[in-house]
Structure 1
Amino acid sequence: MSDRTPDRPSPALTLWEQRTEVPLFAASLLFMLGYAARVLAPHDAEPWHDLALALVGATWLLFAIDYAVRIRLSGLGHRFVRVHWLDTIVLLLPLLRPLRLIKVYTAVQKRRDEPRLSLYARVMSYAGLTSLLLGLSASLAVYHQEHDAPGASIRTFGDSAWWACATLTTVGYGDAVPVTPVGRVIAAFLMVCGLALLGAVTGSFSSWLIQVFRREDEKGPPASA
C-alpha cells in the first residue's frame, strides 16, 4: 500500500497538473462552447448539433483521461475519489470546471518567481472570473431544462442569464424562477456559490481598504517647517 497522503502529493502528479491545467482549462472552454451550441442552436440546425455533440464528447474524453492518469500518478488508488472529491464531481459535471480555476492559477504561478498580482487582487480576480463562468454555465443548464417546461417563467436564454445574475448577486427578484427539479437543484447550488464568491470579493476589498488606510495613518501628518 502506498504511503502517499493528500498533504504530500507525488512529484509526478504535481508535474502532471502543472503541465495540463492550462490546456484542460482551454478544453473546458471548448466544452462550454459545444454545450452552448447544442443548447442554443435551432433544432433543425444541422450539422451543427452533431458537431457540437462531437466537441462535447471529445473534450469530456480528455477530462476522463486526465482523471485516470491522476489516479495512477497519485498513488492513492481508490482513495483518490474520496480525497479529491471536487475533481470527481467536476468529471461528472464538466460545467463545474470553473471551480478549478484556483488550480489553473497555481499551475501558471509555479512557472514564475513571484505573483504578478497582490493577494487581494488575486482573490477578487479568481472570484470574479469564477462567477462569470459559473453564471454562464448555470444559464445554459437552466435554459436547457426550463424553456420547454410547463408553466416555466424562463423561456429564453436572456431570461436564464438574467436569472443567473440575480441569483449570483443574491438579489433574487423572483420574476424568473426554475420550476423543474433539476433547475431548482442548479439554482440551490448557484445560491451557495454566489454567497461564497460574493463574500470573498467583499472581504478582500474591505481588507485592502483597511490596509490602505492603515498605511496612511502610519505615515502621520506632514511635519511642519
Structure 2
Amino acid sequence: MDIAPLLGAMPPLKEREEIRRGLLSPGQPVFAYVRERVAAEDVATLRVLRDEDRPLHRLLTPRAAAASSVRSLVGHPPYLKEEPAAAQSLRAAAAMGLALVGDAGQSAGELAAGLLWLRRNHAHPGHEHVAALALGAATEAGHATRLRRLTDAVPEADRDLALPALTWLLALDGALPEARTVATATVLFDDGRGGVRGTLTAAVLPEGPPALLPDPRIMSGFRGDEGFRTISRPPSG
C-alpha cells in the first residue's frame, strides 16, 4: 500500500473506506511506512507524521473512533487533540523514529513522547529494566549505539517501560527478530458499540527475556485498560 500520497491530498470520497480498511488491516502498512522512513533517515517526513494533521491521520479512523482515543494523552505534545488511538500510535512511532535518527540532542524528548503513549494506553505491563538490556544484547540493530544510549537514558520513573520501548525501537529499526507462533485463540473485543470477534496469537521471541507484551509490528495501535495491564504482569516471587 502506497502511504506517501496520503500525506498530500485527501483521496476521492468513494475510495476512502477501502483505503481506511487497508490502513487499519493486520499488516499495519502505516507502521511499515514509518519503519521505511527510519531506514531512510527521513527526518522531515517523520516530523510531519509526528506533528501535522494530514489526510493520513484523518483516515486512521475506525468505526468507534471516539471510544479508541486515549484521552489522557490530549494536550501533551505531540498529542494535541483528541483523535483515534491509531493516529496517536502513529505520532508515537514517528517520535520514536526521530529518537533513533533525528538530532541526538533531542532524542530524549522524542523517546519521552513514545514512553507517554506506552504508559497511557495500558497495553504494556511493567518489566525489570534488566530485561531490556538482555534483549538489546541479543539483537543486531542498524542504530545500535543510539539504541543503547536511549535504553540507558530511560528516566527512573519509566524504567518499567524500558522493555516495551526497546521493542518498539528495534521494530522501527527493522532489527526486532521474528517471533514463532505457539498458540492462537478466538477472543471478543469491545469496539465501543458492541462485541467484535478477533484472533489473539501468542508468539515466542527466542532472543527475548521472559515477558508478555504486544508486538508493535502487528499491534502498534492496540490499547488496553488497567485490568488488561494488571493481568498481563508477570507473577511475582
Structure with the bigger percentage of strand: 2
The answer to whether the superposition gives a TM-score over 0.5 is no
> What is the TM-score with the length of structure 2 in the denominator?
0.29
> What is the TM-score with the length of structure 1 in the denominator?
0.30
- The structure with more radius of gyration: 1
Structure with the bigger percentage of helix: 1
